[in-house]
Amino acid sequence: MPGCIKIQNTSTSTVDRVSNVLENVNEPIPLVIVQGFLGSTGAWLWGDFEHYLNRSLPGIRRRTIFVSVGPVSSLHDRACELYYALMGGTVDYGVEHSEIHKHSRHGRKILQGQYPEWSPRFPLHFMAHSLGGPTIIKLQSLIKQGHFGPGAHPRMVLSVTAISAPFRGTQAVYLLGERRDAAPAVRPLSFGSILGKAVHILSFIAPLLPPAFDMHGDCRSLTYRDVSVVSLLKQLWRSDWAEGRDATPFDVTFQAADERESSEEGDPDPETFYQSHVAWMTRKRRHFESYHTPSIYHVASPLMYISSRFIGIFNYSTLRPFPSFFPQESTRCDPSVADSAFDMGEEYWANDGIVPIFSQWHPHSCRRTRCLHLASPSTDKSTNEGDVPEPGIWYVNYEEDANHMSIVPRWTGTDRQQQFWLKLGRWLSAVEETRRQIC
């Protein structure tokens, strides 16, 4: 790639930065890794994945960047923190957002970004587990809206690889405590309620804790340096954060996903390459329409097994408002509509223990999103690994007999994990080759 960067500021740091960029232009484009709900462990849990990621790049190593964002924060807050973690600067959540959700406009100041040269000319690959997927979609959406200023462009996100991502919500949040009829309210004494209290206690003593317990609550002034014990007790009684619309639990409800989609958030960008990896650990139950049940050998992961059973028989009719994909009351009363119109596919109950597979595919329904489901039982579409990826299309890959944690984050060295990282390394190189040809 020719070096044609104009140096407008001759300060030492700028010259150094640009020199580093020019030095590195022939290196593979870095891969940013965004973790999911409660995910703040960083690289140590992910193990030896780079050995396989880089196997197709003899003598070269692709840089990987783990980014720390709020483990229980809303998609909006996580996306803002992700942007500034890479670029550096003071996290700006936006005037309108901070007024609506009653927290400070600004968060922590990041003195040194992890990739300050990030720009349309020097884009980044992104890979995400679980909640990290919709976080990246939100980031690209905010860039598109101009939230980060005119210098940011959606094509700075060169590619997105999502694993078990709840793009369209998940039943798991209701099982954990979110009210089915009154989200974001949380049922008292539920797991979600207890978790919310734990987050407040951790945030209160945050200055004394190691980074792994960083809740990124800076803009909410929750530490013992900012608020009294009485204020903490009030939040433990009823949390403004956990029971508000600006937190993870509400953002993974079907209601919140519908609201995002109705504002056209998540439409694929024509210059970004997308792929999702969809895991499922269930089988269709006999004589029970589209309901699913987990395969018995997944009982070795008991919590995942139990949640998978409940997700597999979830009754969507108990939700208020009804999700957009649920056959509406008025339609069901119309005798002219064939019975098959009321059938919902298995994809709404087949799941990986945390997320149903229809939600892992991509944002929006297949009708609205350009997508290609690879080796899916419901489609005859297929591609070979050597095929050239196209931007603006979601490539959906299936991971059979896999649970929410089978691929990442915990490295166990299985053949599935090794193959995943090998293929990802090759796919990222193919994306870069396609980009070079387009440019």
- Which parts of this chain interact with Zn ion (CB under 5 A)? 77, 101, 246, 361, 366, 371
What gap in Å lies between CA 123 and CA 160, rounded to an integer? 12
Handedness of CA 139, 276, 196, 185 (dihedral sign): positive
* Distance between CA atoms of residues 300 and 323, nearest Å: 33
Q: How far is the CB of 311 from Zn ion (least distance, A)?
A: 20
CA distance 401 to 294: 9
Q: Minimum CB separation from Zn ion for residue 97, in Å? A: 6
* Min separation Cβ 171 and Zn ion, Å: 20
Whose Cβ is closer to Zn ion: residue 28's or residue 217's? Answer: 217
Least Cβ distance, residue 116 to Zn ion (angstroms): 24
Q: Are strands 89-92 and 106-110 parallel, antiparallel or unpaired?
A: antiparallel
In sequence order, the β-bridge partners of residue 279 are 399
Read off φ and ψ for residue 133, nearest 5 degrees: -60, -60
Q: Amino acid identity, residue 86?
A: L
Residue whose beta carbon is closest to Zn ion: 371
When the beta carbons of 75 and 405 are compared against Zn ion, the nearer one is 75
Measured distance CA(122)–CA(427) in Å, rounded: 18
Question: Alpha helix locations (H) across 177-253?
Answer: 191-204, 229-237, 248-251
Matching residue, tokens 């979110």: 178
Type of residue at 156: M
Find the shortest distance in angstroms from Cβ 371 to Zn ion: 3
- For Zn ion, the closer of residues 344 and 366 by Cβ is 366
| Cβ at position 255, least distance to Zn ion in Å | 18
Q: Which of 242, 258, 168, 152 is nearest to 201 (CA)?
A: 242
Closest to Zn ion by CB, 167 or 421: 167
Query: Considering beta carbons, is residue 157 or 371 the nearer one to Zn ion?
Result: 371
Using CA atoms, how far apart are residues 90 and 95, in angstroms rounded to an integer? 14
Residue (278 or 304) nearer to Zn ion, CB: 278
Tell the smallest beta-carbon distance from residue 360 to Zn ion (Å).
11
Q: CA 72 to CA 93: how far, in whole Å?
A: 16
- Cβ proximity to Zn ion, 126 vs 241, nearer residue: 241
Burial class (CB in 10 A: 0-12, 13-18, 19+), 404: buried
